[in-house]
Each structure stands twice: as structure tokens, then as C-alpha cells.
Amino acid sequence: MDRRSFIKSSLLAGSGALARTRGLAARSGELQEPGPGAVRISEMRRARFPDGFLWGMASAAYQVEGAWNLDGKGESNWDRFSHTVGKIKGGATGDVACDQYHRYREDVAILKRLNQKSYRFSTSWARIQPAGTGAVSQRGIDYYSRLTDALLEAGIRPFCTIYHWDLPQALEDRGGWPNRDLASYYADFAGILAKNLGDRITTWAPFNMPWTFTYYGYGVGVFPPGKTSFDQFLKAAHTVNLAQGEAFRSIKAVSRYATVGSAYGMAPAYPKTASEADRAATARYHAMNNLYFLNTAIHGEYPKAFVGETPYEAMGFKPGDGKIMKVPLDWVGFHYYTRRIVSHANERCLSGNVRHYGTETEGGGGSASRDPMTQIHVEMPTEGPLTEAGLEIWPRGIYDLAMQISREYNHPIIEISENGCCYLDAPDETGRVPDTRRIAFHQQILAELARAIADGARVRAYHAWSLVDNFEWTDGYTERYGLTYVDFRNQKRTIKDSGHWYGRVAALNRLDV
Ligand code: FCB
């Protein structure tokens, strides 16, 4: 089946789901011949999720809150970056974003209406400590306290990601993440949050996608502060590893209910050929992109991500750092968006040789490496259909990843902290948003997740990205991942068909709803 017929059948699968809910008989066999990577509709119908499975949605402070300079909030690196001409598509900023700072009640009501059990949000460090260290803003704490209470009243678990990329600019001015001092500043911040909210929030993830913000920010310069040095990336990542360990302890010290996990970005990687060199390169990709912050926590050691020795000196690694990094995470959270094909790169390169698709990366032109030390060449395949962000839909990837992490880390409790797709569907003349491709996407991914659960992966939660369309980093407002449409001219929310569908899934623990 070619790509065009696959998309057609995906659409049919989505509209089939809708037709069933209106009491029409489902036509059998819409997906009897699935395209590359797709799941058969019969498997989708069989998929079941355990009782108590945590259906959720995710967001991030800078992407949704707005109120960038209200109530004493300090400037963040993303405020500075988005206010710099030429950095964000369309000159967009997060100054207002979805205005969730003022509209959180409306957003929590949507979550409740859609039967959600978990909301993953993040905190803005500069809202709580405007200068990154020292003085705490009570108004900042109060906002997250109100949000937490609203969630709990709605019967929704508050899942707090402490840091989803927005650093107080004052700390960037002191060298940002390559400055090792940030580890203890960050641990103080995490402790402040846990002290003030830890009586009600029990689920904490220190960092969202730590590889992405350190590599994009300091290695290849597409995120703030726009630096392009592999050494700076190594140092930044090491500080973050120390910070993760220190924060684990500072949270647990003040909140006995706290559980601390993660929100890593991961992509299952497959070797381009069966050659030993490609298989070794794939293992290095996995170590660098998926395990660089997980193995350090669980084993207190860097995974083998480099062709040569681990560059401890360039990282700024000191004796005893292994002990600081090592913490028994209570659960492992990761996002899945798409897969990678990896091969061995013959030529090294001096600086980041990457193409980025939003927050996903491929890299290495020709036979060159993506960066100077891993000698990996990374491709984002196009065998399956693509979303409107250009990412390949590969449902099986979530199965492979959940099984691989389960095998390699002794069957931890897993939370899918994000998964989603960009489609630009907008309200039609009746005001409805018929985003059938998004329904088909989630159906497929969730069928593969259910298969991983049936095969022993201890997955307890799934968070769709995202509750609302929002500020999509350097893509500004040109991409829409929400299950709720936002009209950014007037902040009007419209739950998309995918949101209504997902609400029924959450109520029934099944996909054929
Ligand atoms: C993830 C990010 C999230 C959002 C989605 C589309 O990588 O964590 O903030 O940008 O991608």
C-alpha cells in the first residue's frame, strides 16, 4: 500500500470510530491491509488497559501560561529568546500563549469533562524565584497551589515537571547549565516546590527531555542560549545529571509522599544494516539519546555513548560525582514521538551537523557524524506516513521502546509522559474540529502500548500531548498538537473530535469507543 492509500485508510479508521459512536454499524475491514508500520483494526479492538490506568494530558509552563511578566515573574531564557528577532517562526512569543495562568480553571474543567486522571504541567522557575536563586515569590507559589487544588478537586492527579526548558535569564547570564553551580541552585528550587506543594503533589519529574535542551541549547544553538559547542553540551548535560540527583534528595527530604521519576525524550533506534558497525552505532545512539540521564540515575554511571573513552574531563566530572548522580528513581517516564534509523559515520565532524524537526533531531550529512564524539549518523525514516510536522508515524516504536526499557532496567514502573501529533485541523462551518487523523494516530500508538502491557511492560500512565494547542517552541503557533483547539485571537477553546474520543477511551479503558 502506498502512502496515499495509507492516509486514506487512517482517515477511514478515524471516521469509523466516530461512526460507531453515533450508533452506526462499523464497516468491517477498514484497515485489513495496514500500511507500513500500521496496526490492524482487529488488534485495536482487542486492546484493553488495566483498571486504574492513568489517562492524562500534558503541557509545559512556557508553552501555555503566558503572563510572562506578571505578578513579579522574572525573565526567562525563552522570554529573551522569543523576544530576539529571527529566532521563532512568525516572530511569535509565549507572552500570552494560551493564557493558562488566568484560564486554568477552564482548562481543568476540560480535563474533567474528558475523564482525565492525570495532568502533567510544568513550573516556571522564574515565576517562583525571579532571579533563579534566593528570594521566593509567594505569588508564584500561589499560582501553582491554586492549579494543584483545582486539579485535585476535579479528581485529577497533578504531575509536576519541575523544569520544562525555561531557565531564569539571571542564571543563563551566569553561564547557564554548563555552570556546575546550577545543580545546587536547581535542587534548592525543587526543594522549595516540594516544601510548598508536596503535601498535595506526589508525582515529580525533575527534567523534561534533558538531552534535547542541553544539546539544542549549547551544542547546536537552535534553542536558547544559542551556543554551538559540543564541550558546552557535555558540561551542561553533566550539570543536569548532578542536578537530577541533588533534586531527588532535596524533594524527598521535605516531602515524605513524593515519588520522583522522569520525563525523558526517547526514540527507539534501529540499525540501518545488520553490520556490526551499524549495530554498535545504534547502541551509542540509544546510550546518548535515551539513557544519558537514566543510566546515570539508576547506576551512577554514564552509558557507553562515545566511540572512545567517556570524556570526563571535558564534562567537568569530579571524583564523587557518580554518587551524586545515583538515585533510585521511583518510576521511569518517557515520551515517544517517532523512531530513528542509525548507521556508523565514517567521518567525524567538528560541530553539530543536525536537522531539527521541532524537538526531534536527525543528523550527519553524507557519511558524516552528527557530532564529534559519537560517530553516529541518524535518519528519521519516511516509510510510514508523516504527520504535518514531518514526523513518521511508527506505532510499533512505542512497543519496542517500552519493552527495551523494561528489559534493560529491571521492569520499572513506566509512565508515557508525552505522545502526540501535529495536524492543523480547524473548526469547520458547524464549529466542530473533525481531526480524524489524530484519532487514528492515538488509536494506533495505544494499540501498540496495550500490547507492551500485555507482554509485561509495567506501564501505568499515558499522557497525550497536548491538552490545548500551544506555543510550539521555535515553530511558534504554526504547529498544533492539542486535543483542544485554541483560537489565539480570542483564546476560545474548542474540544476537537480527538479530545471527545480520548475522553471516551479514558472512561472505558478501550480504543473501540
Ligand atoms: C516534545 C516537547 C513538548 C512539545 C512536543 C511537541 O518534545 O517536550 O514541549 O514541544 O515535543
Minimum CA distance residue for ligand 1 atom 10: 472
Minimum CA distance residue for ligand 1 atom 4: 472
Minimum CA distance residue for ligand 1 atom 2: 359
Centroid of ligand 1 to alpha carbon of 465 (angstroms) = 8
Phi, psi of 65 (to 5 degrees): -70, -45
The whole-angstrom separation of Cα 275 and Cα 341 is 13
Closest atom of ligand 1 to CA, residue 359: 7
Q: What is the pLDDT of residue 351?
A: 61
Centroid of ligand 1 to alpha carbon of 161 (angstroms) = 13
The whole-angstrom separation of Cα 408 and Cα 412 is 9
Q: What is the pLDDT of residue 365?
A: 83
Minimum CA distance residue for ligand 1 atom 9: 60
Centroid of ligand 1 to alpha carbon of 22 (angstroms) = 33
Centroid of ligand 1 to alpha carbon of 168 (angstroms) = 20
The whole-angstrom separation of Cα 62 and Cα 78 is 8
Say which DSSP state 81 is in.
H
Q: What is the pLDDT of residue 349?
A: 76
Closest atom of ligand 1 to CA, residue 472: 10
Quick one: CA dihedral 389, 390, 394, 399, positive or negative? negative
- CB neighbourhood size of 18 (10 A): 15
Minimum CA distance residue for ligand 1 atom 7: 359
Residue 167 CA: distances (Å) to CA of 96, 189, 216, 286, 440: 18, 11, 14, 27, 36
Centroid of ligand 1 to alpha carbon of 335 (angstroms) = 9
Centroid of ligand 1 to alpha carbon of 337 (angstroms) = 9
Which one of 335, 467, 468, 471 would you pick to mutate in the ligand 1 pocket, going by the greatest count of ligand atoms within 8 A of its CB?
Answer: 335
372 grid coordinates: 564529534
The whole-angstrom separation of Cα 414 and Cα 480 is 26
Closest atom of ligand 1 to CA, residue 212: 7
The whole-angstrom separation of Cα 205 and Cα 329 is 10
Centroid of ligand 1 to alpha carbon of 97 (angstroms) = 15
The whole-angstrom separation of Cα 226 and Cα 80 is 11
pTM for the whole structure? 0.94
Centroid of ligand 1 to alpha carbon of 188 (angstroms) = 26
- Strand partners of residue 159: 120, 203
- Weakly modelled stretches of the chain, pLDDT under 70: 1-33, 350-352
Cis omega (within 30 of 0) for bond into 466: yes
**Cell 492513568 found at:** 54
The whole-angstrom separation of Cα 241 and Cα 385 is 36
Ligand 1 contacts (CB < 6 A) are 60, 63, 208-209, 265, 335, 358-359, 418, 465, 472-473, 481
Centroid of ligand 1 to alpha carbon of 360 (angstroms) = 9
The whole-angstrom separation of Cα 401 and Cα 337 is 11
271 grid coordinates: 540499525
The whole-angstrom separation of Cα 259 and Cα 302 is 23
Say which DSSP state 48 is in.
B
